Amino acid sequence: MACASFNVTHAQDLHIYSGTVPVIDGIISPGEWNDSDSCQIAISGSLKVTVRFKHDGSNLYFVYYNHLESAVRCPEVNLDINNSKSTSWQGDDWWFHASGTDCENNGAPNVYSDCLAVQPDWEAVPNFVSGGANEDTVEMRLPFSKIGFAYSGGIDTIGLALDVTNTFSAWNMYPSTATVNDPSTWANGIFYNYAAGIKDTGKPGDEIVLYPNPAAGQFFISGQNSHGKIRVYDITGKMVGEQTVSAFPAVVDASVLSPGVYMVQVGGACFKLVKK
């Protein structure tokens, strides 16, 4: 019997899992963001800003940390709610900026006409204060009602680009190929109704993250490897799927599999995937 063929992609998508509600205070408390996924925005040289993100069914949460005010960078979130992938900004697109004041605009980026120390219907904490200590951790809460996102409770997708900027000459983006003015270059922000998954470790130096676990329909693999072969075995030890990948993270479509317990092998390190 031929093995199933998995559909594996390597887009710079952002996986937004359901998680606990963080306290928006600019402090990463122990365990507060453990149920979220993350990405990094390269600034220059070895300097990178880490961004973590999740939702609670009613709000979208972000935390930006490392090399913000100390590297003269302000966090921003750009949203394409309909994920229309238009090459220009539309009425469903939002721009949010946090620095000394918190700024927003609907329909165009970099519009600083609506900036307040505290916005009435979304949060970004703390504000940067000139002459004070450098604030290198900023937490944000964006209500779905604010951005016009009607979450279905399942898997939904919006357009999403994250950046840090000095507001006049530098916009460092995730994805790195994105531009602020062109929503067609942004990542897919994929919402799920379950928390980010577990981390397992294979042989020394070969760390693999497989999530969610349990999974339904698809799962994600990331790790230190730059390439590898994904093999899936059923509980009898029979290989039921195989796919070679050239880069991680990888999104694996496992919808061809029947519900059950499977072993997922990546480059020789084994991980268990439970499908409901």
Render 58-74 in DSSP notation, one character per residue.
SEEEEEEESSSGGGT-E
pLDDT at 195 over 50: yes
Q: Which two tokens stand for residue 25?
A: 């205070």
- Cα distances (angstroms) measured from residue 31 to each of 20, 22, 93, 207: 10, 10, 32, 21
- Rounded Cα distance, 198 and 193, in Å: 16
Q: pLDDT digit string (tens) for 123-134? A: 999 999 988 789
Computed over every residue of the chain, the mean pLDDT equals 84
Report yes or no: 109 and 163 within 8 Å, Cβ to Cβ: no
Q: Give which of 221, 244, 223, 241 is closest to 233, Cα–Cα.
A: 241
Q: Give which of 197, 211, 191 is closest to 57, Cα–Cα.
A: 191
The structure tokens 């990094």 sit at: 40
Looking at 169, 191, 213, which one is the last position of a domain? 191
Looking at 191, 212, 239, which one is the last position of a domain? 191
**Residue 5 forms part of a structural domain:** no
Report yes or no: 73 and 97 within 8 Å, Cβ to Cβ: no
- Specify which of 1-5, 9-13, 207-211, 222-226 reaches the highest per-range mean pLDDT: 207-211
Mean pLDDT for 246-258 is 76
User: 233: domain range?
Assistant: 197-275
Q: Give which of 66, 52, 67 is closest to 22, Cα–Cα.
A: 52
Mean pLDDT for 149-168 is 93
Looking at 137, 162, 191, which one is the last position of a domain? 191
Would you state the pLDDT for residue 223?
Answer: 61
Per the structure, how many domains does the chain have?
A: 2
Would you state the pLDDT for residue 47?
Answer: 95
30: cis peptide before it, omega within 30°?
no
**Residue 123 forms part of a structural domain:** yes
Task: Looking at the structure, tell me whether residues 20 and 80 fall in a common domain.
Answer: yes
Residues 6+ apart with CB under 8 A from 46: none
pTM of structure: 0.72
| CATH label of the domain that carries residue 239 | 2.60.40.10
Element (H, E) at 104: strand 102-106
